[in-house]
Amino acid sequence: MTLYRKELGRVLKSLMFLLSAAGIVLFAYTQGVFPPHSTITKPEPNAASYGTKASGDPALIMPEAAESLFVQYSVNQYTTYPKGFLKYIKLNQADRAKMDEIIAELSADALSDSTRETDDTLATNNGSLQIDGGSLRPNGDGSFQIITPEGETPIDFTFNPDMTWERFSVLMERADDLLGGGSDYSDTWMSHRFGQVPITYEEALADYELTISHDKLTGAHARLFSDYMGIILGLLPVFPAVFLCLGDRKNIAPMVHTRRISSVRFVLARFLALVTAVMIPVLIMCAVLTGVHGLDYGFGNIDIFAYFKYALFWMLPTAMVSTAVGLFFTTLTNTPAAVAVQLVWWFVDTLGGSGAYSFYGIRPLQLIPRHNGLGKTQAYLDYLPELIQNRIRFALIALVLVAFTTFVFSAKRRGLLHVSVFKRRKI
């Protein structure tokens, strides 16, 4: 406990902590969650829109997905997110021939001769066909038409009405494989990307009532707060961890190594001190926001512990992991390599999943869970079991990294681990 207090004191007195805390608060401010920019209001009847939701209805998904694939096929440029980032794919002739077969099966009529001729032309023109914005025209009946230059026959696509969902899924899986995975036609994304339907007034009202009864208003606000704070807590805690460990190298490493304290206690105390320091500004903001909502909605109508529950359940595992990454890689390498590791992970996780936050779902290894909306309580309850698993998983990953750090630290203390490539060289 004494060691924990000392380490915490070292962190709290550092310029690094002040900058980190300022960064966390500034980020919350710029994202409009501190102070909160939106309030929960009862939906009014006959509003223009209550938003949209995924229908999961094959009758809606199939034609939309097929048309989208056809449009991308026509220009031989496909949008994918294989590692979460936007990537454009052009198919070579062999793969394009395979895609021909898929399109032909999706189409009501086999591809017309004109399409085949165009395809041959594409093959001789390095597989590319430029179509400007005005050259694609919806026919109004669910089909699309490519407007070709004057004198040429337009290419039509109408979805095959006899297509079954099972066969369609197989074809889309094949298309996704051809594109290297991560396309809109993958099993993960298809039902979210296509077949969206408007939310009705009754559904919006039911969600509002659930927000009142289950979330007691602050729960919904805390979820949105957690959504944004996860982004910064998935990255920033790595810096104080690197800062503290590199500080040892400069000043007190020989003294630390010869102390009688066990490596486990030392690393654990340091880890807990760093996590505490990072969570302090978050918990202060939680307290302030609870007060703000209490004044807005009335203290009797809100859950005064909601923000704190979300801070510990939702945000803490993320902060634990980024702190543990900082400790582990800095202890191992004596360099700031942990910053690069965490930055790459953060990048892939945050920008990854091609907009997972829109669909209110959680991937098994999603470091930063997203719920970018106020309310949507039923959606939250639907994915809550996955979220609980995810959070437990990341808390365990953090503890495993702390265990590895202890092992490395212990080995270094005893002079058993010497990685010459990381030895600092000077003039």
Partner 1 sequence: MSLYLSAVKYNLRFNLLPHIVAAAGLLMLTPVLFGITALDAMTVSYPLELSLPFLGVILLTPIYSSEQEPGTLDAVRVRKTPYLLICGIRIIMAAVLMFMFICGFVLLMSAMESEVSAAHVLAAFANAVFLGGLGILASAISGNVVIGYMVPVLYFVLDLMGSLGSFTMFSMMRHGTMDNKWILLIIGICCIAASIWSRYISMKRE
Could you list the residues that contact partner 1 (CB under 8 A)?
15-16, 19-20, 23, 26-27, 30-31, 77, 83-90, 128, 228, 231-232, 235-236, 239, 242-243, 246, 250-251, 335-336, 339-340, 343-344, 347-348, 425-427
Beta carbons within 8 Å of 340's beta carbon, 6+ residues apart: none
Comparing CB distances to partner 1, the nearer of 241 and 306 is: 241
Classify residue 88 by its DSSP letter. E
CB of 327 within 8 A of CB of 239? no
Q: How far is the CB of 307 from partner 1 (least distance, A)?
A: 21
CA atoms within 13 A on the CB side of 207: 24
Q: How far is the CB of 123 from partner 1 (least distance, A)?
A: 16
Q: How far is the CB of 162 from partner 1 (least distance, A)?
A: 35
Q: How far is the CB of 42 from partner 1 (least distance, A)?
A: 30
In the structure encoding, which two tokens stand for residue 8, read together? 């915490």
Phi first, then psi: give them for residue 107, nearest 5 degrees.
-80, 150
Comparing CB distances to partner 1, the nearer of 183 and 377 is: 183
Comparing CB distances to partner 1, the nearer of 54 and 99 is: 99
Alpha-carbon distances, residue 118 vs 77, 121, 181, 334 (angstroms): 15, 5, 26, 59
Comparing CB distances to partner 1, the nearer of 250 and 418 is: 250
Q: How far is the CB of 85 from partner 1 (least distance, A)?
A: 5
How far apart CA 78 and CA 184 sit, in angstroms, is: 9
How far apart CA 237 and CA 254 sit, in angstroms, is: 26
Q: How far is the CB of 59 from partner 1 (least distance, A)?
A: 33
Write out the DSSP string of 187-250: TTTHHHHS-EEEPPHHHHHHHHHHIIIIITTHHHHHHHHHHHHHHHHTTTTHHHHHHHHHHIII
Strands 196-198 and 136-138: unpaired
Comparing CB distances to partner 1, the nearer of 129 and 199 is: 129
Q: How far is the CB of 77 from partner 1 (least distance, A)?
A: 7
Comparing CB distances to partner 1, the nearer of 260 and 424 is: 424
**Alpha helices of 13-92 — where are they, by DSSP H?**
15-30, 58-75
Q: How far is the CB of 7 from partner 1 (least distance, A)?
A: 17
Phi first, then psi: give them for residue 146, nearest 5 degrees.
-95, 125
Comparing CB distances to partner 1, the nearer of 77 and 112 is: 77
H/E/C letters for each residue in 368-389? CCCCCCCCCHHHHHHHHHHHHH
Comparing CB distances to partner 1, the nearer of 16 and 283 is: 16
Comparing CB distances to partner 1, the nearer of 111 and 129 is: 129
Q: How far is the CB of 357 from partner 1 (least distance, A)?
A: 12
Comparing CB distances to partner 1, the nearer of 27 and 159 is: 27
Q: Is 344 exposed, middle or buried (0-12, 13-18, 19+ CB in 10 A)?
A: exposed
Q: How far is the CB of 337 from partner 1 (least distance, A)?
A: 8
How far apart CA 213 and CA 219 sit, in angstroms, is: 10
Buried b (16+ CB within 10 A) or exposed e, 171-201: bbebbbebbeebbbbbebbbbbbbbbeebee
Alpha-carbon distances, residue 62 vs 110, 196, 286, 373 (angstroms): 17, 12, 44, 28
Q: What is the CB neighbour count within 10 angstroms for residue 260?
A: 4
